[in-house]
Amino acid sequence: MKKFFKKLALIMSLVILTLPLFASTVQADSQPSLDLNAAAGLAFDENSGQVIYSKNANQKVAIGSITKIITLYLVTKALKEGQITEQDTLQPTQAQADMTKDNELTNVKLDVGRSYTVKQLYQAAWIVSSNSAAMMLADKVAGSQQAFVKMMRKTLKNWGIKDAEINNVSGLNNSDLDSSMYLGSADGENKLSTNDIGVIVKHVLDQYPEILQTTSMAKLDFPADNETKTYNSLNLLLKGQRDYQAGYEFDGLKTGTTKQAGESFVGTLPMNGTRIVTIVMNAQGESNDVDKRFRSAQKLARYVKDNFEYKETLKKGSEVTINKKKYEINQSSYIWVPKNFNVENLSYNESSNDLGFTAKRNKQTVKLIAANTASGYLPFKKADVKKIIHKKTSQKSWWDQIVEFFNHLWKRLF
């Protein structure tokens, strides 16, 4: 019996000793729960790419007018590179003008024979999601919408998104479009995963943060008939809109709606000195509830703000050991962690993609990333930049050229 109690005491001692270890593991992996009323969702830090919340993020879904984030990225690129200017004028085709008379497909009215500036169309596509405006801009940049779709596909592949389904520039189902307006099957619809959308948004805002100057506009003034008509932004979370909440200053980004996609929204707002992106795909609820996607976006933003802290976890100049190798930190590391989380429980690895903070080991600069955050990071990679190799052409000397000339002359004479 004494031996039994000794063994029991030994086992209890071992359990007690290992409890702190177990607790620290749980703390490192623990994350507050959230019941998001949507088919898929994501919340991430735009600057670092750290994912704070994820639901069905790898599941490919219809995206509707969220497509226009890619379309308008390429238009912005064309503007920045001087291919087009904001003052350039465009006229809609008959088909594009006719689409603006269908209330289910568009909003701003466009007239055949009337000219609109690139700036007017750019704002209409971002702020009120004008399909015809996006189509006109695509025609201007690429010469045709089909050529523009090929540009979109190439861009996504360059960003590491290999299985995207992109068929048109607007996000409508192909069945709503003329055959010249799409690629793919007659009933095709644009589809991406929520992770894909996150990667796209990070690329877009990293490269052109000034886009937020347009997406933060709550009103659009647009010429219609013989007057200027004012339209409300479709983003109801902007200041001055009905779903706005003080303390959650959304300033973008894009709504998306089709029968297949449901009601979706990509939102973004500054928070704690950085920027949060919320993605809600196919918000669930009553069909007549037009605010459900915005409430879900607010719920995601509140979830981040109420349950997480944006903390400095490693200071510049400090050291961290990974697999018995020491790294000197070149820049301070800031990470979203659950409130009251002990940052000393974080572990680090060398980054396998283009995210992370810089450190130095053996005079080489590398990127490190936190290895045990609850939701990880976006599968982000920088765009591939193809190196242009200029081959040296071997030019003949003047003497070789003279010799060659007389050789040819000799052959002709004899």
pLDDT band at 187 (very low <50, low <70, confident <90, very high): very high
Per-residue pLDDT, 404: 53
Q: What is the pLDDT of residues 283-302, one digit of tens each?
A: 999 988 999 999 999 999 99
Kindly report which listed range (3-17, 203-217, 244-258) carries the lowest average pLDDT score.
3-17
Mean pLDDT to the nearest integer, 184-205: 98
How much is the pTM? 0.86
pLDDT reading at 378 higher than 90: yes
Binding residues: 254
Question: Residues 91-122: pLDDT tens digits?
Answer: 999 999 999 988 766 689 999 999 999 999 99
Q: What is the pLDDT of residue 96?
A: 96
- Selected catalytic residue, list 55, 68, 191, 202: 68
Q: What angle do CA 334, 325, 379 make, to 5 degrees?
A: 45
Say which residue the tokens 């001087």 belong to: 82
Q: Which CATH architecture has domain 38-307?
A: 3-Layer(aba) Sandwich (3.40)
* 34-53 pLDDT per residue, tens: 999 999 999 999 999 999 99
Residues 6+ apart with CB under 8 A from 197: 42, 63, 66, 69, 266, 279, 281
Among candidate residues 65, 132, 233, 264, the one labeled active-site is 65
CATH class of 310-370: mainly beta
Report CA dihedral (233, 236, 241, 244) to the nearest 10 degrees.
-150
Residue ranges per structural domain of the chain:
38-307, 310-370
The pLDDT of residue 13 is: 47
Is it true that 38-307 and 310-370 share their CATH fold? no
68 assigned to active site: yes
Q: Given the residues 129, 216, 333, 351, select the one marked as catalytic.
A: 129
132 is annotated as an active-site residue: no
Distance CA 105, CA 114 (A): 20
> Which residue in 356, 347, 407, 360 sits closest to 378, CA to CA?
356
Nearest CA to 268 among 200, 353, 339?
200
Which segments are annotated as binding site for substrate?
A: 254
Can you tell me the distance from the alpha carbon of 71 to that of 73, in angstroms, rounded to the nearest whole number? 5
Q: How sure is the predictor about 16, in pLDDT bands with cuts at 50, 70 and 90?
A: very low
Q: To the nearest 5 percent, what fractions of the chain are helix, strand and coil?
A: 35, 25, 40
Question: Catalytic residue at 259?
Answer: no
User: pLDDT value at position 3?
Assistant: 55
